[in-house]
Structure 1
Amino acid sequence: MSQPPQTAATAPTTPAPTPASLAASGRRVLEIERQALAAVGERIGEEFASACALVMAGRGRVVATGMGKSGHIARKIAATLASTGTPAFFVHPGEAGHGDLGMITDADVVLAISYSGESDEILMLLPALRRQGNTVIAMTGRPQSTLAREADVHLDVSVPAEACPLHLAPTSSTTATLALGDALAVALLEARGFTADDFARSHPAGSLGRRLLLHIDDVMHGGDALPRVDAGASVAEALVEMSRKRLGMTAVVDDGGRLLGLFTDGDLRRALDQGVDVRQTPIAEVMTRNPRTVRAGQMATEAAHLMEQHRINGLLVVDADGRAVGALNIHDLLRARVV
């Protein structure tokens, strides 16, 4: 006798998730993906080294391509390669078959990503890439797949299981592929001797780029904006200069522009405590001699380090002959986002 169909009232209900069950689910996913990464890591060997060698020997760029989730991973790998010294970009395989293939030159190395190794859009490109003479590196989860067999080098990204309990959504496999792409980028970075300065040059708008590329000359107040007075000026004249230039300090220089001393808001307070006549007293009598300075051409981070080390808010900039050429304070470094 057939069972009556279940209704909303009789169908079994899924227990409501609890904080503990949700946390357990998250830990299970991370454990499955950890095992996937370990499995891929154990397979890094000659094929990985060959892939690195092919990229380094290439005269062009790395062109990463992939469909669906693999496409998202390929795009990220291309971005990582490009920012770490290996020129790279992403091409959508579907668009490549409709004209974007012209973006790929015969000098480029193609990194084709497909977990099944049977993505039609990628396989359709292989004959054209072969005719053009491109080297192909494949990342798949099936070493016997068409793409794996046709590639010059195959990197196996197969994983024991997907983290998705339905075994449908790419999870562990995409994580493993992304991690292997990172491994490839970093291995190439080290092989090329890529430095932090090189990284900064490709990230000029980032915080690292600002710290490593910005020079003192880029943030200091120079020329007419530099507050300075002669040694014979009075304290009152120095105050007028400080007020006009709004840096809370002024350089004291000789006739040749060489730095003799520094007068700051702090020096002013001490002078007033001593009852100094600001109109009659020469600035040379109350200035700070041999003040902390930085050389023109140094990195802005060096000025920030000096200010932090000596707990001061401003610095004068001098050239190789000891002439005052600029001034900067902590607010200039903050505006430039060096600190």
Structure 2
Amino acid sequence: MTSDSESPFLQSARRTLQLEQEAVGALISRLDGDFDRACQLILKCTGRVIVTGMGKSGHIGGKIAATLASTGTPAFFVHPGEASHGDLGMITPGDIVLALSNSGETSEVTALLPLLKRMGIPLISMTGRNGSTLATHADAHLDASVVREACPLDLAPTSSTTASLALGDALAVALLEARGFTAEQFALSHPGGSLGRRLLLRVSDLMHQGDRLPQVALGSPLRDALLEITHKGLGFTCVVDGQGRLEGVYTDGDLRRTLDQYSDLHALSVDDVMTRPGKRIAPDILAAEAVRIMEDNRITALAVVDDTGHPVGALHMHDLLSSGVV
């Protein structure tokens, strides 16, 4: 909805977004067998996808290459001008080229055609003109044409670059799904970011174990449990039976409830006031899942147990915060 009182800036922005939305929407009906061929060619490729393009098409090509590379399709961008002056050596047999050009006639890009054909490198083109040089010489052509640019002069690449970017995303996602690409594989290419930490870290990577694991035996005086909680500093202790299996936990919250209900703590054993069976988690569970369990149950720590029910570690919300999982 627009109004006559809107500023020219808002009116211009709405018009631009509307035109670009229409440009992207029009791509859907134009997807055809060439898109299928492009996907098949890339899936059969034993090398890398080499993305190239000049100017604004080159900037979009760089982003497409990055998206492909992070979703399971090895790819990188080569500047077509530099390719003609030595960087063509980066393209090797087994690779495939994805070339972007709105006109399909960009000289720096079309100059590569004879060399690509001689090397037997398959070519996928993405242009705004089906009858262009680049489109007609490609093994598969992706139609990224637009009715008009969002630029009021119909000159600056706007709608056309948005359409190319969206078409590149469609290609990357189609390939991702065809490869059965997983979240864990995605995280492997993003190990430095918060996403990688959320997807890669497991409870076993963060838990306190060995001498740092708080635990007392069933039947222990409550005083021993309080000393263990204080000494280990995790806000709780595991309570184990004679075979070392987890029977329950005693937490800071349990202590507050104990103080409300009992006047003489010296007469209590930990069995009298502990929480049974206590929230627990396996060591191979993703750390992000541990966050969900803690949040759902409004707790700040979890006992980590193995398949036999023996405590092997303890995990605190502070560990998740400091690791960047939260």
Residues 271 and 27 (structure 1), Cα distance of their counterparts in 2 relative to 1, 3 Å cut? closer
Tell me the equivalent position of 1:230: 217
Q: Report the TM-score when normalising by structure 2.
A: 0.91
Offset, 1:255:
4.6
Q: Which runs of 5+ in 2 are unaligned?
A: none
Larger Rg: 1
Which residue is equivalent to 1:248? 235
Letter matched to residue 151 of structure 1: A
Q: Return closer, same or farther for 1:220/1:45 CA change in 2, 3 Å cut-off.
A: same
Percent of aligned pairs with the same amino acid: 59
Deviation at 1:246, TM superposition (A): 0.8
User: Match for residue 218 of structure 1?
Assistant: 205
Moved more, 106-115 or 77-86: 77-86
Task: Measure, in 1, the Cα distance between the counterparts of 2:14 and 2:269.
Answer: 73
The 1:291–1:38 alpha-carbon spacing in structure 2 relative to 1, beyond 3 Å, is closer
| Cross-structure match for 2:310 | 323
2:30 aligned with 1:30, yes or no? no
Q: Structure 1 regions of 5+ residues with no counterpart? A: 1-17
Q: Provide Cα deviations, 1:147-187, integer angstroms capped at 9, x if missing partner.
A: 22222222222211111122221111111111111111122
Report matched runs for 1:35-54 at 5 Å.
35-54=22-41
The TM-score normalised by the length of structure 1 is 0.87
How many residue pairs get matched?
321
The alpha carbon displacement at 1:249 in A equals 0.8
Deviations 1:292-325 (A, max 9, x none): 2112222223322322232222211111111111
Name the amino acid aligned to 2:155. Answer: L
Aligned to 1:276: 264
* TM-aligned CA deviation for residue 270 of structure 1: 3.0
Residue type at the aligned position of 1:311: R
Over 3 Å counting, the alpha-carbon distance change for 1:155 and 1:277 in structure 2 is: closer
State the alpha-carbon separation in 1 of the partners of residues 282 and 174 from structure 2.
37
1:271-295 Cα deviation digits (max 9, x unpaired): 33412344x6433333223212112
Superimposed CA distance per residue, residues 1-40 of structure 1 (whole angstroms, 9 cap, x where no aligned partner) = xxxxxxxxxxxxxxxxx84322221122122223322333
The AA in structure 1 aligned to 2:25 is A
Q: For 1:238 and 1:164, locate their aligned partners in 2 and report how far apart those are by CA, in whole Å.
A: 71
Partner Cα distance (1:29, 1:261) in 2: 61
Does residue 294 of the first structure (1) align with residue 281 of the second (2)?
yes
Match of 1:65 among 38, 52, 69: 52
Corresponding residue of 1:160: 147
Deviation, 1:199, is 2.6
